[in-house]
């Protein structure tokens, strides 16, 4: 169903899709499949995906850049390794 929703959005010939938690409520195997298909669509169609996702353990393997927010403010952005090791991100999400 999640992939059908993405397909419907692509029918509008969009160049940018904003996805809100596309792997919410699905098992990890399907979550990886969804992200793999998103990458394939990005590469084949030249579509940019802006994804809001809380299952960062899965999403990290598929993203080019990360924007981390806390209390509605951007606290870090950049490459996945840089952001995940940023002290502000660690404090905001793990409590220091």
Q: pLDDT per residue over 31-63, tens digit each?
A: 999 999 999 999 999 999 999 999 998 999 999
| Catalytic one of 5, 21, 65, 91 | 21
- Say which residues have a Cβ less than 8 Å from residue 55's Cβ, sequence separation at least 6: 21, 23, 24, 31
Interval 73-82 mean pLDDT = 96
Annotated catalytic, 21? yes
Residue 87 near residue 52, CB atoms below 8 Å: no
What pTM does this model have?
0.83
What three-state secondary structure class fits 47? coil
């Amino acid at each position: 169903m999640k992939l059908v929703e993405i397909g419907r959005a692509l029918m509008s010939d969009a160049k940018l899709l904003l996805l809100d938690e596309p792997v919410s409520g699905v098992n990890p195997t399907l979550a990886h499949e969804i992200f793999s298909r998103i990458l394939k669509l990005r590469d084949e169609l030249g579509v940019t995906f802006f994804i809001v996702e809380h299952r960062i353990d899965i999403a990290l393997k598929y993203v080019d850049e990360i924007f981390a927010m806390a209390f509605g403010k951007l606290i870090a952005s950049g490459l996945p390794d840089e952001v995940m090791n940023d002290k502000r991100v660690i404090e905001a999400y793990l409590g220091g």
